[in-house]
Structure 1
């Protein structure tokens, strides 16, 4: 039984790392692109997008329980168009997307990092691209993306490590349920240590997690040689 829970927790964690990370990174980049537009009052919106990141994680989870509860705001809005109600938190298929959406909501720090990366792109590159007849999409693909690849690399590594170490969202939202659908690796390690009092096994699991994070981080860093561009170095 314990082995099956361990495998489930590992699978759930890898799901968040390999499915959640791309969604969160894409959301952070898209939001940063919007907030990078210099219009009147844009600083107010930048501040508003950063505020959820300042909310303690426990409070954020409680807010999401209220929003996605059976009689929560989301179900009430869906009810206006004849949909639902959906049991977001108690559904084995919906609980993971809810947790990923929570990560997007509290993505203010990552958005700021991408915004700083976008500010660092030399404006003369956009001017040259415009002269060559490149439209907004081509400028984004051929100018913006290559120049912010170091930022993307940093964000991917940090977000992946954050998902590997995720505990609060899963434990407080539904204690890893339903049916262990949201039990992360760290939640399982916590239960092994403080519920089953098997501290030796919990320590072994912690070392395994460290090795997994190290291996995946090294793989990502090694692969960066082929897709990360460093303007002042020997990058691609």
Structure 2
């Protein structure tokens, strides 16, 4: 008889042991789960399809098409005719009105943007001290930003500063000589700057939110050290508010360069092109002179200008914007 142990050894397989396969390799995905995953993807795309359709058809396609038109001669009626860089060449070398519009726009944005930011900050500082009925004051001061860009307000502004307007009537009542504010090239642009500064509500609310986030303990500690309100403003408020100032500055610079309605309605670019803002001139080239190719080239030049200013502001922010994470 063969011993039981030896018999067991004979029955064992002679080939080496096979290692079990990796569990991940052994895992089989049920077909139902794949179908479920595909259904979820389809459902997700269906939900975002309105945005995708709107973005592709109303944003991306017009942007790319305007870039193509900037290299063509197109009168809105016929077929675009490819002319290469002629629009850009004519713009920079043979169009004095372009340079006038550029000059007016830089002057307008360079003064109107700081005026609005400073005024919005001062009002936000005042509201930050108010305890009672702050919601009412905040709403009333925000209203000009809601309606300020409308055609109705621009018409009102034109009537207000007209020769027989309320402003001249007030001056006549006080015995001060009246003036043709909209008819004088030296003062017409200032009426638009005042209108832009009057629409300070949105910037004011952002500044107010930033002021509310500054801990009061900083002011209490500095007052114990003998710092007055003016010193607290420069060593506490301004440094801690710099991220908000950066955001407001970028947004207002973009709005300043893209201003259109005040110049179009209040002065129509006059007198003698003293209020001819860039976007108004671009509108004229496109829809009055039917020179859509040239207007498209102007639009891309303005895009580059805004991008350069935005990049400069962002780059300079490394030296004057302070974040809370920088102190950790």
Give the whole-Å Cα distance in 1 for the aligned partners of 2:177 and 2:136. Answer: 35
Query: 2:325 is matched with which residue?
Result: 232
Indicate which of 294, 306, 311 corresponds to 1:201.
294
Query: 1:37 is matched with which residue?
Result: 129
Indicate which of 93, 116, 141 corresponds to 1:49.
141
Segments of 4+ moved more than 4 angstroms:
none
Give the whole-Å Cα distance in 2 for the aligned partners of 1:106 and 1:147. Answer: 25
1:68 lines up with 2:161 in the alignment: yes
Q: CA deviation at 1:6?
A: 0.6
1:191 lines up with 2:287 in the alignment: no
- 1:193–1:199 Cα contact (<8 Å) kept: yes
Q: Deviations over 1:95-145 (max 9, x none)?
A: 121111111222111111111111111111111111110101000011000
Q: CA deviation at 1:215?
A: 0.5
Residue ranges of structure 2 left out of the alignment (5+ in a row): 1-90
Query: 1:152 is matched with which residue?
Result: 245
Give the whole-Å Cα distance in 2 for the aligned partners of 1:190 and 1:127. Answer: 54
Give the whole-Å Cα distance in 1 for the aligned partners of 2:209 and 2:228. Answer: 23
1:10 lines up with 2:102 in the alignment: yes
1:51-200 aligned within 5 A: 51-55=143-147, 57-200=150-293
Residue ranges of structure 1 left out of the alignment (5+ in a row): none
Q: Report the aligned-residue RMSD.
A: 1.6
Q: CA deviation at 1:43?
A: 2.4
Q: CA deviation at 1:72?
A: 1.3
Q: CA deviation at 1:51?
A: 1.2
Query: 1:211 is matched with which residue?
Result: 304
**TM norm structure 2:** 0.69
Q: CA deviation at 1:91?
A: 1.4
Give the whole-Å Cα distance in 1 for the aligned partners of 2:109 and 2:324. Answer: 29
- 1:24–1:100 Cα contact (<8 Å) kept: no
Whichever of the two has the greater Rg, that structure is 2
Q: CA deviation at 1:42?
A: 2.8
- 2:158–2:267 Cα contact (<8 Å) kept: no
Q: Secondary structure at the match of 1:166?
A: coil
Give the whole-Å Cα distance in 2 for the aligned partners of 1:233 and 1:133. Answer: 26
